[in-house]
Amino acid sequence: MKQNKQTVETTNKPNKKLPGLGNNHEGRRTLEGHTRPCEDCGAVNWDFDVTRGEITCGDCGLVAEENVPDPGAEWTNRDNGEDRSRVGRPMTYTLADKGLNTTIDVRDLNTGIASRHGMSSQARRDWRRRRVIDERSKTRKSRERNLVKANQFIRDRSGLPGPLQEEAARLYRRLSGEGFVTGRSIAGVTAACTYLVARQEGLPRQIPDVSQAFDITEKDLSRLIRQVSRRLNMHKITAPDEYFDKFMSDLGLEPSIRTPLDELWNTIKPHDDVWQGKKPMGVAAALIYKAASAAGNPRTQSEVCSVANVSEVTLRGLLRLIDGLLDKIRQYQNLQ
């Protein structure tokens, strides 16, 4: 059987250099079509450079052949780095079948395209009927229908980047497989998965925004977030600085305010008794209010509270706590 791969032949070499055979080698390395000695140095040590498509002498570097096609498969599968498969699309959790089933595209059954492929009108009708049956067979079970609906919610309403949509869909699929979704709202569980994934990745969403996007009440969403986080062990303390960029953007503040804002946050961060246990949105709002006022670009308490979704009473209470802590720090520094 003819081999296309590189073969290695081991032969005994003389102890001293022989004319026309190049340097002494422990073996001969040949490739298909290149078994004779090198014309320049006389060695039989051929190498195949896949990247350049060249066959060269391993001793003197002579290029014996150029533009050699690579007989192996190309890296076309984006889902698995070890898979060189040239067919199929990558697996995705945002589709109920993970994108593994064959889909009959309705565009292929249009009159123009079908006619170019030699399909008669009767064949087109048959394939349209098969397509309807195929689509129905994919959602025959209630769990599959629920997955389709949940994935549609995540793609259309979450507002997350593609990789985070994948993670939210994966979490929902896991909860569905464990029976957690039974008796609960699909929109509510997908909203909770969206909120938790965003929080885990440092892109926190506010509960009012998520509840409005998924058309559920804030009370139901908060309850489902607690239940899902306990079920999946996704507890995390959200720090106020995770809301800085969003609130600054909503308030139209200049990026230069971020420097004094970070300095203020780094000052109070070690004193976790001041900010832990408080709403992180409220603490972030209080810090932004102080930093913007100190930078000469103030915002009213009403504007800040509207963005952070906290009351003015809460904001003023947090400002008093932060001011009291800063006064103690200054007094301690003066005593040093």
Tell me the CATH number at 281. Answer: 1.10.472.10
Q: Which pLDDT value is given to residue 76?
A: 52
Q: Which pLDDT value is given to residue 4?
A: 44
16 plus 47 within the same structural domain: yes
* Cα separation, 126 vs 116, whole angstroms: 17
> What phi and psi values does residue 73 have, to the nearest 5 degrees?
-75, 150
Final residue of a structural domain among 187, 212, 232: 232
Give the list of residues 6+ apart from residue 45 with CB closer than 8 angstroms, or none. Answer: 25, 28, 29, 38, 57, 58, 59
Range of the domain at 147: 142-232
* Cα separation, 43 vs 64, whole angstroms: 13
Q: Running along the chain, 336 residues long, what does each successive block of 10 average in pLDDT? A: 41 39 49 75 82 83 79 54 56 68 72 73 81 74 83 90 90 91 92 92 86 92 91 83 89 90 90 82 92 90 91 92 89 78
> What phi and psi values does residue 50 have, to the nearest 5 degrees?
-65, -40
- Look up tokens 């549609």; give the residue: 152
For residue 108, give Cα distances in angstroms to 99, 124, 307: 19, 9, 49
Tell me if 90 is assigned to some domain. Answer: no
Tell me if 80 is assigned to some domain. Answer: no
227 plus 282 within the same structural domain: no
State the Cα angle at 64 between 15 and 33, rounded to 5°.
85
Tell me if 79 is assigned to some domain. Answer: no
State the Cα angle at 328 between 322 and 332, rounded to 5°.
145
Tell me if 83 is assigned to some domain. Answer: no
* Cα separation, 154 vs 166, whole angstroms: 9
State the Cα angle at 193 between 179 and 175, rounded to 5°.
15
Q: Which pLDDT value is given to residue 7?
A: 40
For residue 41, give Cα distances in angstroms to 24, 27, 56, 125: 12, 15, 12, 69
254 plus 277 within the same structural domain: yes
Contact call for residues 109 and 128 (beta carbons, < 8 A): yes
Tell me if 98 is assigned to some domain. Answer: no
67 plus 117 within the same structural domain: no
Q: Which pLDDT value is given to residue 116?
A: 72
- Give the count of domains, the chain: 4
275 plus 310 within the same structural domain: yes
Final residue of a structural domain among 192, 207, 232: 232
Beta bridge partners of 56: 47, 63
Tell me if 82 is assigned to some domain. Answer: no
> What phi and psi values does residue 67 have, to the nearest 5 degrees?
55, 45
288 plus 321 within the same structural domain: yes
